[in-house]
Chain A
């Protein structure tokens, strides 16, 4: 009897999970469907069955070179993630294993920087980038994306590190491990699921960042977000082409997310159940 109730509940939760997942995924699905419509079909109204035309993909390929912004997106997202991890791992170690009475305040302060609207600092940032000669450079944008995502990276790593018993690190110290050896050979391998999920999440966030990547680039460092925005037109139909460009832009990150979903979920739920 108990088994029957459990199965029923499980079925309800499964259906509910599928419904929620479909609702969340629907905008992406509809973007993909629209990319296989003609411009007239795309603006004609809601329709889940496209004619299957590839003309929008052809137009997108004719108009712009996809490879350059794609490579920029790869360099910026991977580069900013590596840089963020290099800074965040020692910072999170310090806060998790050697906290002071101000640690919580520092963590809150770091998080509070995410609450400020980006446009509020557009002019100062633009001037700094101009004066440092970093406008439209991959280096400048990598640093920018690192700074944007650093609070989340530190917070996530801090949460994972706190789940690791400090006795293990103390044992390593007793065995004569230096600070760096302790972090690299003891802490990091134990926190691999957490670090991996943080890394994946940071790559996704950096890949999708559109405010700064559009505003601080022109031709050399412009990533796929700029590629997408170039298909919006004030006079002329563009929904199908925009959808095709968006599909091309999100495809790599969707594929990466699909293959790494186990790692991502394991990392995100790490320490959630004791």
Chain B
């Protein structure tokens, strides 16, 4: 399958290792990965903060960049949710019927990484090795918008050498919410406090998730606490083997 990788702006800028891991993982599974260097951002921050017109420009750009793709895969639940769930709404709000048709046509070919592996490729053991204690935080948009279900857990349970620890209150939001974290810093921090407490209670060395925006938030909290625990994107765990350690 010809996969177009949408790396997402946050991964591109802040988490290049996650992108490298995603490429290595997909290629190890026999897939062909392309990277369209004109890609930038899905427009989620603009739309969710109320800047509809700015978001629509980025939405049109995404459609231009991926109109002819067989599949578009992204290592981010919230960016995939933006494309699948909110692009059609944004097109309606902007009164752009042509765009609506285009995004509805494109949406079914857009996947978050774990759902792509498990549901589209039918793989739940990627042959990974990661000798650490790990707990998993299911991110809100992957869980409640994309409905990836237990796809990430299926993948994690098959990682060799790893101890997977159950996270209490795992389905509760970490409090990131994009610009929510800076516009409502007190509530966001209160939510983060409970999330980091639950993570530390597991005794895990790392918390993993399918979305680096959530992990940027959780990791920032764990680092501020000097807790010693850190965060690693799911793709980096899945890409790691005994020969090549990604995280």
Q: Does A associate with B in a complex?
A: no
Using a CB–CB cutoff of 8 Å, the interface residues on chain B facing chain A are: none
